[in-house]
Structure 1
Amino acid sequence: MPSSARRCPLLLWTLVPLFVSAPAAAQDIAPAEVLFDRGLADMDAGRYETGCKALAESQRLDPRPGTLFTLAFCESKWGRVATAVTRLNDFLSLVERMPPDQRGRQAERAAAAREERARLAPRVPELALVLPPNAPAGTVVTRDGQTLGEASLGVGLPVDPGEHVVSTRAPGGPVWERRVAIAEGEKQQLTLEVKAPPAVREVAPPPPASEGGGEVSSGRRAAVYVAGGVGAAGVVLGGVMGALTFGKRSVVAEHCGAGIGDSREEACDVTGFDATRSARTTGLVSTIGFGVGLAGLGAAAVLYWTEPKQDGPVVGATRAAPRWVGAGVIAAGPGATVVGARGVW
């Protein structure tokens, strides 16, 4: 088929752009002509794959009824019967829209197209793709890279004979893919598979903390350290002062002839008098130091052992009891009062 078959009559198609898909740009006409000639030569030589692709590109660049007609027969010879029938239908639909006089000039081509379509129609295979009932909403189905809408599923659609690649993908899930072969005239239905999205591990949220709980715990722990430090310093001071007080006893005994608690300071010489006064001062400081020290250490212990704790670990069906400590008067009597702490931990 010479290239004039594509362009004849050229004037007719120039005057009637209504019947051409769209007027080609000037720079596309020459490449389209070259591609048509090359595609026609490959088609005549039996190289249908390269020939049909060249003709299809020529039609895309410069749509013409003659190119469309030639392309339909090339697809038929290549064995792509479903595509060939689609091309023939497009050509015949184009001819039907032409005015009567122009339609008459295409009568021979139209007759050949109808005859070829009738010959190919029984050979067109049909493939129906069906989603399983449990397929999640939004599952995407593709066939040879083309996404199929919901209306295309479950219906036998014409396809070219050979191998086709179908795939599914649920939202967030992996791709399931399968290759399916179909022969001329075969009607096949394939139930697809859909891979579920990977299970999401649920991480238990941390137990809710009471409002300001972190700040309270941090402040309480700081108070434990401060109270413990003061208590330790008080005990050290009391011990040092107590040692100094005991060290004065021998001086007082030698220079006063009486104990440190004796009020008869007039019996002491100057050395004994100074030792007595110094011993009383260091003894007082020792007593105060021990008192402050014991109070600080006691306060630190109470603060630590009464600090709020999270629930204990689960043991069987019960939880370990939280520890508690209370401070106060343990016993009192006519001669003494005992102060201490008690609790469970």
Structure 2
Amino acid sequence: MRFSWSLSICLGVLGVAIAAPASAQAVAVAESLFDRGLADMLAGRYDTGCPALAESQRLDPRPGRLFTLAECEAKWGRIATAVARYNDYLAMVDRMSEAERVMQSARRKLAHEQRRALAPLVPRLTLSLPPDAPAGTRVQRDGMTLEQPSLGVALPVDPGEHVVTTQAPGGPVTEKRLTIGRSESRVIVLEVTPSAPEEPPPAEQPPSPARLPSVAPLAAPSPGAGANAPDQGPSGRRVVTYVAGGVGVAGLVVGSVTGWMALDESGVAAENCRDVSPGNARCNPAGIAAGNRAKQLGLVSTVSFGAGVALAGAAALVLLLEPAPRRQPAPAVSWELTGGQAGGGVVMHGRW
């Protein structure tokens, strides 16, 4: 690098005198940070000196501080950042008056020389997302978010290690570490881990039945209580009667429907047949087919109707002749009241 290090430091210190207006407290803090950062830089502690100079420049922007910060970044090896600092310094000088630019002429010349020497050494890194990356995937490089216009473009970066992360909407963060050297150009297609499919919500468990209090078993009925047992539901004979009645009603319905269909087919056959002599009719194919269907439907109607009448009638007869079930009489309860000189009581007797 073609510059005098001693001259650069002196110019950086002298540049503190030219500054934009700032509060007295900010100026005091900025000057303290600048002194500490400059001391660390001269001692080779760039990892602490450069951040102190950057904070000093943020609190009280001055061309001299900015130039010294660029020099520190260049010595630290962060050449892409150093070139950006030199550009900021030259842009600040260009906005000055003619008299102020004259005062910055020496630093301005060094900044141009440094920028020309460092620019060819700046690495370029191109980051791209795969074609199937979900919309809204977030890309960060060293903690800085790269929006869509920054993807697929060769961007200047400092030499060394960089951390790149990608994250699809709702998905996990995928991290990639890479190292790039001076003057190197790399193109990286990033990996994106899609979000996991949503699991269906767990099925609601039916409420557990309420625990009922235990009940002591009832005493066995007496031998004579069988006649008064409660009705346990319809008997097997009644179930068969219900089924037979249902089938009979269905047979009546089928017989009626097929009967009407047979009459309709008979009408179609009559329209497509003509008498050529008494007792002899000639029919076209449509009439023959309709006549055959009328015979088949008539047979089905006759059988269904007859079976329906028989089953329905039998079921009705069985229901009419079945004896009525006996009702269980209400339990008779008698009360007996006893008393005496020693006390009294109530005794309850019941038949179950």
TM-score (norm 2): 0.58
Quick check: 1:25 aligned with 2:23? yes
1:47 Cα deviation from its structure 2 partner: 2.0
* Residue 332 (structure 1) shift: 3.2
Measured at CA, do residues 63 and 334 of structure 1 come closer, stay the same or move farther in structure 2, by a change above 3 Å?
A: closer
The alpha-carbon deviation at position 62 of structure 1 amounts to: 1.4
Match of 1:86 in 2: 84
Distance 1:186 1:43 in 2: 27
Q: 1:178 to 1:339 in 2, by over 3 A?
A: farther
1:43 Cα deviation (Å)?
1.6
SS at match of 1:298: coil
Aligned equivalents of 1:170, 1:69: Cα separation in 2: 41
Residues 70 and 5 from structure 1, CA distance in 2 versus in 1: closer, same or farther, beyond 3 angstroms? closer
Q: Distance in 1 between matches of 2:316 and 2:14?
A: 122
- Letter matched to residue 6 of structure 1: V
Letter paired with 1:337 = E
Structure 1 residues 9 and 131: alpha-carbon distance in aligned structure 2, compared to 1, 3 A threshold:
closer
* Identity across matched positions, percent: 52
The offset of 1:333, in angstroms, is: 6.3
Secondary structure in 1 aligned to 2:170? coil
1:37 pairs with 2:44: no
Q: Which residue pairs with 1:146 in the alignment?
A: 144
Residues 338 and 189 of structure 1: CA distance in aligned 2, closer, same or farther (over 3 Å): farther
Task: Tell me the distance in 1 between the aligned counterparts of 2:148 and 2:318.
Answer: 93
> What aligned pairs does 1:1-345 form with structure 2 within 5 A after superposition?
5-8=12-15, 10=17, 13=19, 17=20, 23-202=21-200, 239-240=224-225, 289=228, 293-294=230-231, 297-298=232-233, 330=315, 332=317, 336-337=321-322
Q: What's the secondary structure of 1:332's corresponding residue?
A: helix
Alpha-carbon distance, 1:98 to partner = 0.9
| Number of residue pairs the alignment of both structures matches | 231
Shift of 1:50: 1.8
SS in 1 for 2:25: helix
Equivalent pair of 1:72/1:88 in contact (CA under 8 Å) = yes
Shift of 1:335: 10
Native 8 Å contact 1:331 1:339 kept in 2: no
SS in 2 for 1:142: strand
CA positional deviation for 1:199: 2.3
- The one-letter amino acid of 1:176's match is T
| Aligned mates of 2:27, 2:74 — CA distance in 1 | 26
The amino acid that maps onto 1:37 is D
Partners of 2:11 and 2:64 within 8 A in 1: no
Q: Take 1:59 and 1:334, find their aligned partners in 2: how far apart are those partners?
A: 108
Q: d(CA) in 1 for partners of 2:62 and 2:198?
A: 56
Name the CA shift for 1:337/1:45 in 2 (closer, same or farther; >3 Å).
closer
Equivalents in 1 of 2:11, 2:202: separation in Å? 77
Give ranges in structure 2 of 5+ residues lacking alignment: 1-5, 205-220, 239-313, 326-352
Q: Following the alignment from structure 2 to structure 1, what is the Cα–Cα distance between the partners of residues 174 and 129?
A: 12
Structure 1 counterpart of 2:233, one-letter code:
G
> 2:98 is aligned with what amino acid?
P
The structure-2 alpha-carbon separation of the partners of 1:79 and 1:339, relative to structure 1 and needing over 3 Å to count, comes to: farther
CA shift for structure 1 position 79: 0.4
C-alpha contact (below 8 Å) 2:122/2:159 kept by paired residues: yes
Q: Determine the structure 2 residue equivalent to 1:219.
A: none
Amino acid at match of 2:74: S
Whether the 8 Å contact between 1:126 and 1:188 is mirrored in structure 2 is yes
* 1:225 alignment counterpart: none
User: How many Å separate the matches in 1 of 2:78 and 2:319?
Assistant: 117
Aligned 8 A contact 1:68 1:91 in 2: yes
Asked if the contact 1:174/1:197 (under 8 Å) is kept, the reply is yes
SS at match of 1:27: helix
Displacement of 1:237 in angstroms is 10
CA displacement at 1:39 relative to structure 2: 1.6
